[in-house]
Amino acid sequence: MDASEYSTLETLRSGQRVEIRAQRVSDRALLREALVNLSEEARYRRFFAPKRSFTPKEVDFYLNIDFVNHVALVVVMDGAIVGGARYIVSEPGRAEVAFSVDDSHQGQGIASALMRHLVAIARDAGLNELVAEVLPGNAPMLKVFERSGLSMRQWREGGVVHVALGLPRAGRPPAGIQPK
């Protein structure tokens, strides 16, 4: 699978259809608008700090995705980006994941859908584990990880919940997930 060409349609809990696709360099304006649509709390949960803008170096980092060591997916609804997720390989076989969903679209299954698609891409890329750092008050994100069907370890350290998710080998669905 070529992650840079990834695109699929999903139906949310609300019945709304969205496209989950690979992030593109041409998404710059849509991503800027998506950041504006995040509440201060949502930005803090994603970046662990108040974040209103990005430096040129950060913009380069978030836009220039190689789809090998850095994979990013976005959720497009009615021409706007309403959520996104990415993984960045931190060492062979392991990548760190991060998610963001704008406030008005939370609770509709967007993060769970992004999780499923990132896991498929990560497995195809030969990754064994996804890791994340989550603020303890971000219960919705912790629930996404708990409900992913992946083996999960979590521990608290330095005011952060660390999560490690084991990826099943190709051909084996996550625990609790039945093949169709």
What is the rounded distance in angstroms from the CA atom of residue 104 to the CA atom of residue 153?
30
Stated pTM of the model: 0.84
pLDDT tens readout for residues 37-93:
666 666 655 555 556 666 677 767 778 899 999 999 999 999 988 989 999 999 999
What is the rounded distance in angstroms from the CA atom of residue 34 to the CA atom of residue 80?
8
Paired sense of beta strands 94-101 and 129-134, if any: parallel
Asked whether residue 56 is domain-assigned, the answer is yes
In CATH, what number is assigned to the domain containing residue 46? 3.40.630.30
Structural domain span for residue 19: 3-166
CB 12 within 8 A of CB 110: yes
Asked whether residue 105 is domain-assigned, the answer is yes
What is the rounded distance in angstroms from the CA atom of residue 126 to the CA atom of residue 38?
33
Asked whether residue 178 is domain-assigned, the answer is no
Neighbouring C-beta atoms of residue 169, cutoff 10 Å: 8
